[in-house]
Amino acid sequence: MQNEIRVDSLTQSGTYLAPFLIVAAAFLLIAPLILRLRAILKIKNTPLTPSDVLRRQEPQPELMEPRRPRLIGGGYGVMIVAGAMGIVCAGVTYATLHKFKVDQRFAKEGQTITGTVLSASAARHGHTVRYEFRVEGQPYQGSGNVSKLRSWTNARKSKEIEISYLAADPAINRPADATNLPLLIGLAPPLFLALTVFMLLSELRGNFVLAAIGRLTNGIVVGVRPWVSYDFLNDQGVVTRGKSSVLSGNAVVGSSVEVLYLPDNPERNSLRQSMYWQT
């Protein structure tokens, strides 16, 4: 009787354990987002620093002459990442376009024949099958993924599988049930990589412009999470709030920082310590 009670208790514990773990995992994922959102709202609701306080920040640097910036450590890192992702993007794009071309050829020139299964193994989606077939007495081999249950069952029982091949080149073949690569799914990875490379290069270019012709001034830190937020006085005597996701050293609320901004567009600004370029 005691054993039955103990088993029942363990069963109930296991029943409640799974939902508890799910809730705990969801909390661990959502909690940082909530804290981040609260920090953003707190900084957003913080009033702008009075202009007279910023005027007392000494010294207020003069307009700097156009200069020739040079890349520093962080900039080299971004360039390397952008270059590597660009190479991967080119490779993925080539492979995707090649797959689209092969799919079109199968749709126009594909021939179907029965082949012999050489081996089969379970894969993440379906089963990977190696097969052999003959065209005009010439043997050809190939492999592919069989995802449909009926096709896999037939291949396993009869050791035969339907093959689709190109009449002009039977070495290009695949299981007859293989599906074409959907356009959106095929284009998504290269487009994502291309967008990431574009954003990285755009950030580098924006930093270069700031380093080359930006005005250097002093600002006051008003928030440090989730990024460093600061106020500074622009050429028109208006207080502008900026933010920077990277900062060399530690910043605390109320501390003075050097800010670079474009005189004709103060919204484009950055902390001097966060720049990828140096003059």
Which pLDDT score is estimated for 119? Answer: 84
Task: Please give the residue that has the higher pLDDT: either 158 or 144.
Answer: 144
Percent of the chain whose pLDDT exceeds 70: 73
Instruction: Choose the weakest-confidence range: 16-25, 133-142, 208-217, 237-246.
Output: 16-25
Distance (Å, whole) CA 26 – CA 33: 11
CB-based contacts of 257: which residues, under 8 Å, 6+ apart? 218, 219, 220, 221, 228, 230, 251, 271, 272, 273
Distances (CA, A) of 46 to 18, 41, 225: 42, 9, 13
Tell me if residue 62 falls in helix, strand or coil: coil
The average confidence (pLDDT) of the chain is 82
Shortest CA distance to 241 belongs to which of 252, 257, 251, 250?
Answer: 257
Task: Please give the residue that has the higher pLDDT: either 119 or 189.
Answer: 189
* Best mean pLDDT range from 25-34, 244-253, 263-272: 263-272
Which pLDDT score is estimated for 47? Answer: 82
Which pLDDT score is estimated for 87? Answer: 97
Which pLDDT score is estimated for 5? Answer: 46
Sorted by where each begins, the domain ranges of the chain are 45-88+187-278, 107-182
Residue type, 255: S
Distance (Å, whole) CA 79 – CA 152: 48
Q: How confident is the model at residue 66 (pLDDT cuts 50, 70, 90)?
A: low
* Neighbour order of strands in the sheet with 160-166: 138-146, 127-135, 110-122, 160-166, 169-175
First to last CA, the chain: 82
CATH of domain 107-182: 2.40.50
Tell me if residue 98 falls in helix, strand or coil: helix
Distance (Å, whole) CA 89 – CA 192: 9
Instruction: Choose the weakest-confidence range: 28-37, 98-107, 206-215.
Output: 28-37
Shortest CA distance to 166 belongs to which of 110, 113, 115, 112?
Answer: 110
CA atoms within 13 A on the CB side of 61: 16
134-146 pLDDT per residue, tens: 999 999 999 988 7
Which pLDDT score is estimated for 57? Answer: 66
* Best mean pLDDT range from 13-22, 38-47, 191-200: 191-200
Tell me if residue 12 falls in helix, strand or coil: helix
CB-based contacts of 38: which residues, under 8 Å, 6+ apart? none
196-228 pLDDT per residue, tens: 999 999 999 999 999 999 999 999 999 887 789
Which pLDDT score is estimated for 63? Answer: 54
